[in-house]
């Protein structure tokens, strides 16, 4: 049994990770201040003897002795992080510093949940880990993009200077049950609008692309990277390499929900990437990982979650 800290453990992705780590027989400490996470995501875990909830802000230094740390603490919703840019940037940088200090002192292995947003609005397509990105450092998304880039810098500096055992994963668009209904992400937005008979809002012309990965596949990759060879530090891309336009996503959601809603188009937002598609050869070769859940099957599960949530 390992003692594992998951920061942001009450979030969408973090709660699914807690599920997996507990199923593997570990002791899990979930740290969250519920800024963007929800207690309902972990309500089924609280009674378990191997689960502990620590209500704590990752930006405030604390002491803990653990074997592994998964750092997922940071708002990932554009709507939320653009409303609270300073808090978001502080969480990325100060949170990473605090956790890296714990890892340095205790010898814990530490995982950083980075993001495809480190590539910005990419001029290289598809995106490989060697690409340095095209990020606007003073734009409305910079608090998240540059915060995550800065966190990666800290991770690799602690690895080089203090020999901290690090794992860095760049996560592309992930979706599934427990997504927040209010965070403004495209999958949850379109599903909720379809289920409620509202017009489906498409930003820009809808021809921008994303690569949608189901949450179970992303969590599996996270676990594989954490348990990989010590020499594999990352960064490593994880996402579904199948590119999908927002118009195609909306059409599939309308089909799966049986909704008669129409589309309505909104102005494009600043610095919104036009194309996003990961190269995942490194994950395939080093982790023996490929996504297994199709977009259709994953959306069926996600739609069922939101149908239950709306009742």
* Cβ–Cβ under 8 Å, residues 47 and 87: no
Give the rounded distance of the alpha carbon of 233 from its chain centre.
Answer: 18
Measuring CA to CA, which residue among 176, 186, 173, 177 is closest to residue 79? 186
Catalytic residue from among 70, 144, 175, 214: 144
Q: How many Cα atoms within 13 Å fall on the side-chain side of residue 287?
A: 29
Measuring CA to CA, which residue among 119, 13, 27, 24 is closest to residue 65? 27
Three-state secondary-structure class, residue 5: strand
Q: Which helix (H) or strand (E) holds 301?
A: helix 295-310
Cα(44)–Cα(66) distance, rounded to whole angstroms? 23
Cα(268)–Cα(253) distance, rounded to whole angstroms? 21
* Known active-site residue 305: no
Cα(151)–Cα(76) distance, rounded to whole angstroms? 14
Helices marked H in 202-294 — which ranges?
Answer: 215-226, 246-257, 281-287
In terms of DSSP bridges, do strands 236-238 and 166-171 run parallel, antiparallel, or are they unpaired?
Answer: parallel
Cα(135)–Cα(146) distance, rounded to whole angstroms? 8
Measuring CA to CA, which residue among 288, 152, 171 is closest to residue 229? 288
Q: Which residues are catalytic?
A: 144
């Amino acid at each position: 049994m390992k003692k594992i800290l998951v920061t942001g453990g009450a979030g969408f992705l973090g709660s699914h990770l807690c599920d997996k780590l507990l199923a593997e027989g570990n002791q899990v400490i979930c740290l969250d201040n519920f800024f963007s996470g929800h207690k309902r995501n972990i309500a089924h875990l609280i009674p378990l003897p191997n689960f502990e909830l620590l209500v704590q802000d990752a930006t405030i230094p604390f002491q803990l002795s653990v074997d592994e740390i998964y750092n997922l603490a940071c708002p990932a919703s554009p709507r939320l992080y653009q409303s609270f840019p300073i808090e978001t940037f502080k969480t990325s940088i100060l949170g990473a510093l605090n956790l890296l200090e714990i890892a340095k002192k205790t010898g814990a292995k530490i995982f950083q949940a980075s993001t495809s947003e480190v590539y910005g609005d990419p001029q290289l397509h598809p995106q490989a880990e060697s690409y340095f990105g095209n990020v606007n450092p003073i734009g409305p998304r910079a608090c998240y993009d540059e915060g995550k880039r800065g966190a990666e810098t800290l991770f690799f500096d602690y690895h080089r200077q203090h020999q901290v055992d690090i794992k860095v994963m760049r996560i592309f668009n992930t979706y599934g049950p427990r997504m927040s209904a209010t965070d403004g992400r495209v999958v949850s937005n379109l599903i909720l609008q379809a289920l409620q008979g509202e017009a489906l809002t498409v930003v820009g012309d809808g021809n921008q692309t994303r690569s949608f990965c189901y949450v179970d596949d992303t969590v599996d990759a996270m676990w594989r990277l954490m348990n990989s060879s010590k020499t594999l530090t990352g960064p490593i891309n994880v996402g579904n390499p199948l590119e999908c336009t927002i118009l195609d996503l909306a059409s599939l959601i309308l089909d799966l929900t049986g909704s008669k809603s129409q589309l309505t188009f909104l102005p494009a937002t600043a610095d919104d990437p036009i194309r996003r598609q990961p190269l995942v050869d490194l994950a395939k070769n080093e982790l023996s990982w490929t996504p297994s859940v199709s977009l259709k099957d994953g959306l069926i599960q996600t739609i069922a979650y939101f149908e239950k949530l709306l009742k």
